[in-house]
Structure 1
Amino acid sequence: MDPLTSGLLVVIGLFVLMAIGTPIAFALGGISLIALVASRGLPELTYFGETFYESIAHFGFVAIPMFIMMGAAVASSPTGRDLYRALDVWLGRVPAGLAVSNIGACSIFAALSGSSPATCAAIGKMGIPEMRQRGYPDGVAAGCIAAGGTLGILIPPSVTMIVYGIATETSIGRLFMAGVFPGFMLAGLFIVWTIIACRISGGYGGSVKAGVNQVANNVRANLDAIRRVLPFLAVVLGILFTLYGGVATPSEAAGAGAFLCILLAIVIYRMWDRQRLQLIFRDTLRESVMIMLIIAAAEIFAFALSSLFITQTLAEAIATMEVNRWVLMGIINVFLLVAGFFLPPVAVIVMTAPILMPIILNAGFDPYWFAVILTINLEIGLITPPVGLNLFIINGIAPEISLRDILLGSLPYALCMVLAIIILCFFPGIATWLPTTMMG
């Protein structure tokens, strides 16, 4: 059987398994095992276990559960509430100020937690009811939170950037720096659209003013909220400084950050009872195991594709295409967009980044710039069906808003992400200037 036919059968089998509800890691591992045994016989089982173990026996992966623990400590504390209250006071008087403050809170909380679902849940639980109470349209209220949550995988520290760095053997510190300015640029585009959407709907006028006056009467309480958040921000800035300055490896910085965030949660928010600490460790264990299983299964899937010469055939077909390099980049982005509709970012990165990296380098593109493009592209999948994880999280915390309204409110933000990718194509220095300046 030729490689293209084998690849088509493998992809169809993968989608069938996912369509019947098989978890992604088991779908990837199962179809890989079937393909390897069918093509190379039962002796191939010997290499299955070895490949599974070796794919995650990498010291760099220690940073993943540590950053997840750091995010779990922040997400389990009232940090999101304090961020929301503080930014509401600062931004409440600008047009669409409450929605803008929610995006700002999502941006900062994303940097603290590094998790899109955690950001949506933490900010959305307070922000969506408050916006609806003040007269904001349901689509804007849900859409700005769903979109703001996607910033968690772009603004550093980001778990997906760590996975990309390990998969492509690129510097994680440079990847973090490359995501800083694009992350804030994307947040700015979200804010611009939010203001436009609110002006079009006309549904945020007098209600907002009344809400701002009510919050402004509690200035002292909001200043206390700011003081409680600042230590967490200091931890994030310290982590980035140690990474950029070469003081510590990502794993060491992540371990110190996780310890400090748990300590701050205990000291500042009195989270020393056993149940709340167990919740942090449970969430960390659950998400870490899920990500590591996906990484291991995706590595086996890549091994199966390579053993069947599917990867080599596909890469050669793409590399030999006689097209402009920007047309090639457009084809790659369409491929990533479709993959992101069905698979989580971590799975897409582990499966595709090692294949695409030689093609990107041969075409003359910067690998750190491409990491940002890839991440923004995968963010679109978080707010679009059929998977659209952030959409379902918003629907879970605000069931009174229909999934249709959430989707329609989120789609313009997906277009903002497409615009961000276009801007980065014209001005790649937005992603490359900071790592080049800081690290040469």
Structure 2
Amino acid sequence: MTDPVLTTSILFGGMLVFLGIGVPIAFALGGFSIALIYLFWSPMALSMLPIRAFGTATSFEYVAIPLFIFMAAMLQRAKIADDLFDAMQRFFGGLRGGLAIGTVLVCTIFAAMAGVSGAATISMGMLAVPAMLQRGYGKGVALGSVAAGGSLGILIPPSVTMIVYGIVANTSIGRMYAGGLLPGLLIAFLFCIYLVTRGLLNPEESGGMELRRYTWKEKLSGLTGLVIPLLLVVAVMGSILTGIASVSEAAAVGAAGAIFAAAVLRRLTYAALRDSCYETVKLSCMIFWIIIGATALSTFYTAMGAARFLEALVLGLEVNRWFILIGMQVILLFLGMLLDTVGIIMITAPIFVPIIIKLGFDPVWFGILYIVNMEIGFLTPPFGYNLFYLRGVAPPSVKMTDIYASVIPFILLMMLGLALCMIFPQIILVLPNLLF
């Protein structure tokens, strides 16, 4: 089978059928691709798949993934988020909507420590949602601020998603990290502005009960909860951005730092260490199986010449290059509603990135736009990961429809942030150009 149109139709059509009937994405990618290689290429070609899978799984750059996952799991069990929330509650609890703003800020700091979305969402879902509901906050504010704030973990470095994208797209992970910092802070700022405005317009939804105001002594005493998180952020991000350590080496610093932080706080227990290791193995295996499955897909797709055909087809369109870029954003937003982030990257990045480079766009700039789309995908119904993370830890009174409704304003704010980054590329590029 050499017709690239037929190859593309069978490959992606079959994959979507398998996903639609509930086959795990790793097997929908890998299993179907292996069958096609055997039937339409050559049984001998199957021998290269174990070699490529082993080479991918043992890549030094991928070492950072389990290390950052372990770091996030350890920080969650050391209850670092509890200390951060206490500090933010003291500083912002006296403002209308202050607890929701503090929740977003806690998630922002947690994102700069952990690099994954689930840790902040689960921690703040257990901690902040009951506290806000008890103090008279509406479900939309309480749930939306946690789900949206938690999603910042894949945009603000050190992001595990950026590591996968950087390796697959052959884009500098260090430059990606520098490029993701300001867009992440911009989106967090948009969330806070929205929460302040909503608190002023609808005070009954943002702490309708009497607000508690803390003295300066109480506020300053709460700053102790910020010391260890900020030191950890400086150790991890500082070592990467200053060139002292590679991303994988900085991940090792972060993992060791998380253990040290738990020990300093006297929360390092055998159970915490064991559970963190178990969670690391489980999530890492899930990610690597998706990567291996997608490797099989890309091997077959490239060998059949379909990737080159699509590239030539898109580049041959008589349209402005911005229409092609916007079309890619629409595709990513749609896929984010249905597929896992790593799966989307493995399927689309090898196709999109060469086209983007030939169109003359900066690959780091496009990479951050891509990651923002993945962040939005964590919130978009019906299968946004953060929605299910939050449902798993929210109080029984919270329904799935409440969570779906709560994230809509935050999705729109993320799209606004995405548009600003497209209109003003220097939001993304200023730090990479300055530091590298």
TM class, shorter-chain normalised?
A: over 0.9
The one-letter amino acid of 1:128's match is V
Cα distance in structure 1, aligned partners of 2:312 and 2:51: 28
Matches for 1:2-21 after TM superposition, within 5 Å: 2-21=3-22
**Does residue 419 of structure 1 match 2:420?**
no
**Equivalent residue, structure 2, for 1:258:** 255
**Equivalent residue, structure 1, for 2:302:** 306
Query: Which among 354, 375, 387 is matched to residue 383 of structure 2?
Result: 387
The 3 A distance-change label for structure 1 pair 64 and 206 is closer
The 3 A distance-change label for structure 1 pair 297 and 206 is closer
Matches for 1:3-402 after TM superposition, within 5 Å: 3-204=4-205, 207=208, 209-210=210-211, 212-213=212-213, 216=214, 220=218, 226-271=223-268, 273-398=269-394, 399-402=396-399
The one-letter amino acid of 1:132's match is L
Identity of aligned residues (%): 36
User: After superposition, what is the alpha-carbon deviation per residue over 1:157-203, rounded to whole angstroms, capped at 9, x for unaligned?
Assistant: 11111112212222211111101110000001111222333444432
1:217 offset after TM fit, Å? 7.1
Q: For structure 1, which segment, 35-44 or 403-412, has the greater mean C-alpha deviation from structure 2 after superposition?
A: 35-44
1:206 offset after TM fit, Å? 6.2
User: After superposition, what is the alpha-carbon deviation per residue over 1:284-319, rounded to whole angstroms, capped at 9, x for unaligned?
Assistant: 111111111111211211112112222222121111
Task: Tell me the SS of whatever aligns to 2:95.
Answer: coil
The one-letter amino acid of 1:137's match is G
The one-letter amino acid of 2:351's match is I
1:344 offset after TM fit, Å? 1.8
Cα distance in structure 1, aligned partners of 2:123 and 2:266: 16
The 3 A distance-change label for structure 1 pair 207 and 61 is same
1:54 offset after TM fit, Å? 2.1
**Does residue 406 of structure 1 match 2:406?**
no
The 3 A distance-change label for structure 1 pair 92 and 356 is same
User: After superposition, what is the alpha-carbon deviation per residue over 1:388-434, rounded to whole angstroms, capped at 9, x for unaligned?
Assistant: 11111111111321111211110111111111111111111011001
The 3 A distance-change label for structure 1 pair 368 and 46 is same
CA contact (8 A) 1:158 1:176 kept: yes
CA contact (8 A) 1:153 1:160 kept: yes
Cα distance in structure 1, aligned partners of 2:374 and 2:207: 38
Task: Tell me the SS of whatever aligns to 2:265.
Answer: helix
Q: For structure 1, which segment, 99-108 or 186-195, has the greater mean C-alpha deviation from structure 2 after superposition?
A: 186-195
Which ranges of structure 1 fall in alignment gaps of 5 or more residues? none
Cα distance in structure 1, aligned partners of 2:340 and 2:29: 13
Cα distance in structure 2, aligned partners of 1:201 and 1:232: 33
1:224 offset after TM fit, Å? 5.4
Task: Tell me the SS of whatever aligns to 1:343.
Answer: coil
Cα distance in structure 1, aligned partners of 2:405 and 2:223: 33
Cα distance in structure 2, aligned partners of 1:328 and 1:26: 31
1:223 offset after TM fit, Å? 5.1
1:204 offset after TM fit, Å? 4.1
The one-letter amino acid of 1:259's match is A
CA contact (8 A) 1:228 1:268 kept: no
Cα distance in structure 1, aligned partners of 2:332 and 2:89: 36
CA contact (8 A) 2:137 2:207 kept: no
Cα distance in structure 1, aligned partners of 2:220 and 2:205: 25
Cα distance in structure 2, aligned partners of 1:371 and 1:224: 41
Task: Tell me the SS of whatever aligns to 1:179.
Answer: helix
CA contact (8 A) 1:137 1:201 kept: no
Cα distance in structure 2, aligned partners of 1:14 and 1:160: 22
CA contact (8 A) 1:136 1:198 kept: no
The one-letter amino acid of 2:376's match is I
1:55 offset after TM fit, Å? 2.4
The one-letter amino acid of 2:276's match is I
1:375 offset after TM fit, Å? 0.8
1:282 offset after TM fit, Å? 0.8
CA contact (8 A) 1:78 1:269 kept: no
Task: Tell me the SS of whatever aligns to 2:317.
Answer: coil
| TM-score, length-scaled by structure 1 | 0.94
1:381 offset after TM fit, Å? 1.2
Cα distance in structure 2, aligned partners of 1:206 and 1:181: 30
1:225 offset after TM fit, Å? 5.0
Q: For structure 1, which segment, 115-124 or 225-234, has the greater mean C-alpha deviation from structure 2 after superposition?
A: 225-234
